[in-house]
Structure formats: structure tokens, C-alpha cells
Amino acid sequence: MKLNRLERMLENLEGFSDPSPRLEQYRTPAPLAARLLFHAALKGAIEGKRVCDLGCGTGILAIGASLLGACEVVAVDIDTKSLQIARDNAGRVGADILFLHDDVTDPETPGRIGHCDTVVMNPPFGAQQLHADRPFIDASLAIAPVVYGIFNAGSRSFVGSYMAGRGVIDEVISGLLPIRRTFSFHKDEFREIPVEVIVIRRMVA
């Protein structure tokens, strides 16, 4: 599948119906999702692989991974309403995904997900709940040897030092996350948040 076609398919998916600020429910824009997934696919991290989407929301990354030929996709979120939208989205494009209603902060969650080859994720940035991104880093390293995560721009040094001894940063790709006014505390109608896709490789213990 070509990048443009993937982007168009992802663009047509339903977004959050009633996003929760506490859970930092922001939809990943289709161009950023498609770029992350294509990049991972070119590195051989998607096709024929077991892929996990942590904090899947409405399912854009999980669905994209499935469309790019992942052999199995597990998508996890704490919010049942989002999971229902994600299920409907997957059904609409014929993506076969295992949805799991689970809490990434629960240390037992990686065990329930099982081993995966690749994690793709757009976790909460920790803007509402300080350090909300940390359990996602922990869980992803417990689940897979390769992780593609979207973080606030400038997170590189934090992510690197937080993972010390557990994972290393392979690559950082800059991007933009366009956000329309979603929550009452948003002052601007539209804002572009600079983000980075951080590619993490787990260190062998």
C-alpha cells in the first residue's frame, strides 16, 4: 500500500466523540500516523509482525499497522467508549484487531498483552497528569524490542535518561501535531504542537 492511500484511509476514520482531557485524548493526525507506520514498515517492523498499540484511542495506529500487513495487532486502551469507536473503525476497513480494555499503568498489563515484535504508540504527554507517559515507556519496553512512540518535542533527553540501562534511542523524527480547540482550557482555535517520533530499541538484559 502506498503512503498516500494509507493516509487517506486513516483520515476517514472516526475520531473521539467526547474526548477526555484527563486521559489526554487527542487524535493522531493521519499524516503523522501514516508517516510513523511507513517508517516502521520500511525498517521491517510491521509486515508479518505482532504489533501492539498502547493507548490506542480510536485505533488509528493499530488499524494502520494491520493495513500494512502486521500478522496480529493488539490494541489497548483504558477507555471503553474509545475502544468502541476503534472497533467500529477497524470493522469499516476490514482490519482484524484484538482489542484489550486495560490500564497501561497496571504492571500486570504487559503480561496480559504478551510478547510483541513492535509497539506503536501516541501516549499521553503528561500535560494533565505529570509523568503519565512513563508507564507507557515501561510497558512498551516490557512488551517489545522495538518501540515507535510519539512524544512532545524535546523529550529525547528525558526519554533517553529515563530508559537508562533498559533501552536506547535509535532515531528521532520531527513532526507536527495540529490540535483544534478541544478542551475549555485551550486558548487558541488551532495550534500546532511540535512532536517527535522516538524510535527505541530495547537493550538486552
Binding site for ligand SAH (CB under 6 A): 23-28, 55-58, 60-61, 76-79, 82, 103-105, 122-124
Q: Which residue's CB comes closest to ligand SAH?
A: 57
> Of 28, 143, 17, 171, whose CA–CA distance to 80 is shortest?
17
Residue at 138: amino acid letter: D
Q: Cβ 132 to ligand SAH, closest distance in Å?
A: 6
Shortest distance in whole angstroms from residue 55 CB to ligand SAH: 3
Q: Where are the beta strands (DSSP E) in the chain?
A: 50-54, 72-77, 98-101, 118-121, 146-152, 167-180, 190-202
Distance in Å from the first CA to the final CA of the chain: 36
Return the closest-CA partner of residue 59 out of 19, 24, 10.
10
Alpha-carbon distance of 16 to 89, in angstroms, equals: 11
CB 204 to ligand SAH: min, Å: 27
Contact 200, 155 (CB under 8 A): no
CA–CA distance, 109 with 107 (Å, rounded to integer):
6
Toward ligand SAH, which CB reaches closer, 89 or 117?
A: 89
Instruction: Please state, in angstroms and rounded to a whole number, the distance separating the CA atoms of residues 165 and 128.
Output: 28
Q: With respect to ligand SAH, which residue has the nearer C-beta, 63 or 163?
A: 63
Give the residue with the Cβ less far from ligand SAH, 23 or 37.
23
We find the least distance from the C-beta atom of residue 165 to ligand SAH, in angstroms, to be: 24
CB 132 within 8 A of CB 124: yes
CB nearer to ligand SAH: pick between 23 and 205: 23
* Residue whose C-alpha is closest to residue 89's, from 69, 60, 61, 120: 60
Nearer to ligand SAH, 91 or 203 (CB): 91
Least distance in Å: CB of 113 to ligand SAH? 11
Q: Which three cell numbers stand for residue 35?
A: 508517516
Tell me the closest approach of the beta carbon of residue 201 to ligand SAH, in angstroms.
21
Whichever of 62 and 163 has its CB closer to ligand SAH, that residue is 62
